[in-house]
Amino acid sequence: MAPPETRFARNGDIHLAYQTVGSGPLDLLLIDTWVHHVEAVWEFPDFARLLRRLGSFGRLIHFDRRGTGLSDPVPLDRLPDLETQVEDVVAVLDAAGSTEAAVIALNDGTLIAMLLAVAHPERCASLVLFTPTAAHTHAGGMPMEQVDAVLEQIRSDAEEGRSGVEILAPSRVQDERFSQQLARLQRNSVRPGAMAHYYRQTMQADIRDVVPQIGTRTLLLNRSGNRIVTAHLTRDVASLIPDSRFVELPGTDHLAFSEGVDALANEIEEFLTGARTGADPDRVLTTLLFTDIVDSTTLAAEMGDRRWRDVLDQHHSLVRAELDRFTGREVSTTGDGFFAVFDGPARAVRCSSAIIASVSALDLQIRAGIHTGEVEVRGEDLGGLTVHIGARIASLASADDVLVSSTVKELLAGSDIGFEDAGEHELKGVPGRWHLYRVVG
């Protein structure tokens, strides 16, 4: 699915970037932490999946808080207090044409959501709060004497390009690709100085006197092993809100999108709509790339198992580097082949050509096939006829060839990418005959 168009709301002289995702009778407003970038999140597969799930049962509005993402930068001495950020939310709702929304808040975004529900109850149809706390330094939370030490660690991680995945998402600590994507999202979202401000603001906030004034129906969620905001802190918040329900999910991660996205989305959907469909979002349009190594069986026999394993590891590293460079998402790897998706065919074509050039240093040749069409989202996997078509196109390619469907060629009309006719072919298991084209130049 192509990312939605970015628009801008305005609060005074500050412009706030926002997008709307999906459609339906129910408006949803997502208030995320300060690590948010309305366009970069779509390049993060786990985050994109959460947005698609939420957008499958309502019209989702998500935005960048001032000083973050694509919203206007703010001098460090003018970074906003919580009350200003509440008014920013109202400005985004107004710009999106929403008079009332179900407010879904993540991590420190829950502070803004709770204040919004008290200051502007008419704008909040209901509240969903993931990992809320009314006061971090109260009732077993982090002592204030530790705040400065953690703040220095955050600054150091930002300066060194570390993501802090060990504490933010322990379930993904062995997933180097996830950690790299998270660090890139953090860099795109917020400057180190602003990050320090938002962190200190979060840790020093104490809204225990305000929370009991929330009259909005509220769902509170947390994971049992969360080390940043423990489940008992969220349970304390639930005890202060008259019409509330607390659900403790299994897991360890503080990030909403790193673990159990579907379990989280199911709870939210049932609370807001009364139904737990568990359904994936509707079919999405995407570009698929399939690659594999030519004559891999022969090469493996010639090299022997150990040498072949080393070559495959190097091949995988080179392919993943090119996928990152062209913002492709790896869906799966099977032996010597890759299946990846892109938000447009030009990036897929250029990535495949770059992969061919890159792996030639290993004396390897690959074949590649590209097709654009609608796919079925099945968790982190993709399915449907479009996937089979892409795989079959790749199987017909010769060494160092990139074959594409006529759909891809037509979408790239007028670009600087050249094609030559590769004739009509039958694709095993796919109805009809398919006209294919070879990338040239």
Q: How many domains does the chain have?
A: 2
Quickly state the pLDDT bin for 376 (edges 50, 70, 90).
Answer: confident
Q: Is the pLDDT of residue 167 over 80?
A: yes
Select the more confidently predicted residue: 79 or 411.
Answer: 411
Together in a domain, 91 and 202: yes
Residue 215 per-residue DSSP state:
-
Summarize pLDDT for 86-128 with one digit per residue, the tens.
999 999 999 999 999 999 999 999 999 999 999 999 999 999 9
- What local confidence, expressed as pLDDT, does residue 420 receive? 95
Together in a domain, 183 and 239: yes
Q: Identify the residue whose tokens are 């982190």.
A: 380
Q: Identify the residue whose tokens are 């962190």.
A: 199
Q: Strands, E, within 250-365: which ranges? A: 284-293, 329-334, 337-342
- Per DSSP, the three-state class of 129 is strand
Q: Is the pLDDT of residue 244 over 80?
A: yes
Quickly state the pLDDT bin for 151 (edges 50, 70, 90).
Answer: low
Select the more confidently predicted residue: 74 or 150.
Answer: 74
Amino acid, res. 209: D
Residue 288 β-bridge partners:
341, 371
With a CB cutoff of 8 Å and minimum separation 6, the contacts of 278 are 262, 266
Quickly state the pLDDT bin for 139 (edges 50, 70, 90).
Answer: very low
Q: What is the number of other CB atoms lying within 10 angstroms of the CB of residue 170?
A: 18
With a CB cutoff of 8 Å and minimum separation 6, the contacts of 46 are 178, 257, 258, 261
Q: Which residue range(s) make up the domain with 146?
A: 7-273
Residue 104 β-bridge partners:
30, 128
Six-digit token pair at 80? 């906003």
Integer Cα distance of 98 and 73 in angstroms: 25
Residue 395, burial from CB neighbour count under 10 angstroms (0-12, 13-18, 19+): middle
Integer Cα distance of 436 and 420 in angstroms: 9
Percent of the chain with pLDDT over 90: 67
Q: Is the pLDDT of residue 415 over 80?
A: yes
In a domain, 17, yes or no: yes
Together in a domain, 311 and 240: no
Together in a domain, 266 and 293: no
CATH classification at residue 407: 3.30.70.1230
Select the more confidently predicted residue: 208 or 193.
Answer: 208
In a domain, 294, yes or no: yes
Q: Is the pLDDT of residue 172 over 60?
A: yes
With a CB cutoff of 8 Å and minimum separation 6, the contacts of 32 are 62, 65, 105, 106, 107, 109
- What local confidence, expressed as pLDDT, does residue 158 receive? 63
In a domain, 279, yes or no: no
Six-digit token pair at 309? 């394993």
Quickly state the pLDDT bin for 138 (edges 50, 70, 90).
Answer: low
Q: What is the dihedral of CA 312, 315, 316, 319, to 10 degrees?
A: -160
- Helix %, strand %, coil % of the chain (to 5): 40, 25, 35
- What local confidence, expressed as pLDDT, does residue 140 receive? 44
Assess contact for 46 and 258: CB atoms under 8 A.
yes
Taking CA atoms, 281 is separated from 53, 72, 104, 163, in Å, by: 6, 32, 18, 29
- What local confidence, expressed as pLDDT, does residue 378 receive? 62
CATH classification at residue 64: 3.40.50.1820
Together in a domain, 268 and 288: no
Q: Is the pLDDT of residue 406 over 60?
A: yes
Together in a domain, 160 and 238: yes
Residue 20 β-bridge partners:
61
- What local confidence, expressed as pLDDT, does residue 2 receive? 54
Q: Strands, E, within 250-346: which ranges? A: 284-293, 329-334, 337-342
Together in a domain, 50 and 195: yes
- What local confidence, expressed as pLDDT, does residue 136 receive? 73
Quickly state the pLDDT bin for 155 (edges 50, 70, 90).
Answer: low
pTM above 0.75, yes or no: no
Mean pLDDT, range 61-83, rounded to an integer: 93
Summarize pLDDT for 274-299 with one digit per residue, the tens.
987 765 555 678 999 999 999 999 99
Q: How far does CA 192 lie from the centroid of its chain?
A: 21
Q: What is the dihedral of CA 71, 76, 82, 88, to 10 degrees?
A: -20
Quickly state the pLDDT bin for 257 (edges 50, 70, 90).
Answer: very high
Quickly state the pLDDT bin for 161 (edges 50, 70, 90).
Answer: low
What is the rounded average pLDDT for all residues in the chain?
90
- What local confidence, expressed as pLDDT, does residue 141 receive? 47
